[in-house]
Amino acid sequence: MPANPILRLKSVQKVFGRFTALHDIDLDIEEGEFFTIVGPSGSGKSTIIRLLVGMDELTSGEIWLRDKRIDQIPANLRPTCMVFQSLALFPHMSVGQNIEFPLKLRKIDPAKRKARAIELLELLHLPESYYDKRVTECSGGERQRIALARALAFDPEILFFDEPLSALDYRLRKSLEKELKDLHARTGKTFVYITHSLEEAMVMSDRIAIMKSGRFEQISDADEIYSRPVSRFVAEFMGEVNLFDVTAVDGQIKGTGLIALPSNATRTIADQITAARGATLMIRPEYVQFLDEGQAADFEISGRLNGIYALGSRIHYEIKTEGGQILTVEKLREDRHDGSEGDTVRLGWNADCAHVIEEAPFEGRIA
């Protein structure tokens, strides 16, 4: 937890009629951080951002911007700004007029306004000639940049983003993600970003908060969330994952079809499982190996090769275990497995690649 956060939420709650969208949210965001809130639709992430910019009122709790409480201040008097999902560019104005809009509201003189707009066009790699162009004549990626330029012209303390890339095609989105990260580094501003794509969050963010049903499930950096999720929900949110229901008795790990070779490493895992009341063993697809005759690993399981899917640089293998569970194995093209569908295969992985998710019996296991 940062010592002097730029933004602090204290037990923020939002209730719509009989539906509680946010339950007692606490959150600190650090100065200059790229913070992303990720969650499926209906998780409450849009509600949070609307509260933060002042478009909705919170039911209870407090929002602090540095040492100023802002939750009672109307949106137009808050020193924050948001890039909308629809971008909300004004269709009756030129590109230049759009960018200058926040400056015009502050009664800055036209020459200075224009100079700043041109500066921002350059910062966002748009040609100066766009100043007089109609917004409606610009492409999706260009409009994205114009919306960003307008938000930067406002010069906010914190810049909020409400899924601004969701409407773009895959390639453009990927390149804009990197550009946004680069822009964050160059401006040094605090960015708070909302998305439903954890992949997008991982590319850009310093820290990620995973939301589920109006609560934060985990707040951490990308690496931690990927390799050490706190719940099955988080583990499954980021792409393919293999999960095993496991128990441990006297240092022996038990799971359907799963064989754990006795070693110090598996012993440590067994102890973790014993300590938890219910546990799941997680292994990401890229850490699973196809074992040759005589080869051994800390964990082993056998099954039938069900399907092979080429994904370009990587290949996915789908294996059905004897217990009926479907597992995924991912290999880079250059170390692909020479086998065909229907083969019986032996899979294995080392204990240091496995992660134990400790989950209380009644939480997160409904799905």
Partner 1 sequence: METSRTTRIALTIYGILIIAFLYLPLVSVAFASVSKARYLTFPIRRYSTGWFRDALASTEVHMLALTSLKIAVIVTMLSMIIGFFGALAFARYQWRYRSLFQKLVLLPIFFPQTVLGLALLMWFNSLGIIPSWKTAIVAHLVWIAPIATLIVAIRAYSFDPALEEAARDMGASTPVILREITLPLLMPGIVSAGLFAFLLSWGNFPLSLFTTGADSTLPEWLYAKMVSGYSPLVPTLGILSVIGSFLLVLAALAGLAIYRALRPSQ
Contacts with partner 1, residue ranges (CB under 8 A): 53-55, 74-78, 80-82, 84-86, 88, 90-94, 97, 101-102, 105-106, 132, 134, 150, 154
Closer to partner 1 by Cβ: residue 92 or 186? 92
Question: In sequence order, what are the residues at sequence separation of 6 or more whose Cβ sits closer than 8 angstroms to the Cβ of residue 140?
Answer: 167, 168, 169, 172
Nearest-angstrom CA–CA distance, 205 and 218: 14
Is 137 strand, coil or helix? Answer: helix
Closer to partner 1 by Cβ: residue 98 or 242? 98
- Min dist. Cβ of residue 43 to partner 1 (A): 21
- Min dist. Cβ of residue 107 to partner 1 (A): 11
Nearest-angstrom CA–CA distance, 357 and 313: 30
Backbone dihedral angles phi then psi of residue 247, each to the nearest 5 degrees: -130, 165
Closer to partner 1 by Cβ: residue 28 or 162? 162
- Min dist. Cβ of residue 174 to partner 1 (A): 25
Tell me the C-alpha to C-alpha distance, in Å, between residue 145 and each of 89, 130, 181, 367. Answer: 11, 11, 13, 39
Closer to partner 1 by Cβ: residue 150 or 189? 150
Q: DSSP character for 135? A: G
Closer to partner 1 by Cβ: residue 130 or 317? 130
- Min dist. Cβ of residue 134 to partner 1 (A): 6
- Min dist. Cβ of residue 156 to partner 1 (A): 9
Pairing of strands 289-290, 344-349: antiparallel
For residue 281, list its beta bridge partners: 244, 356
Nearest-angstrom CA–CA distance, 115 and 108: 11
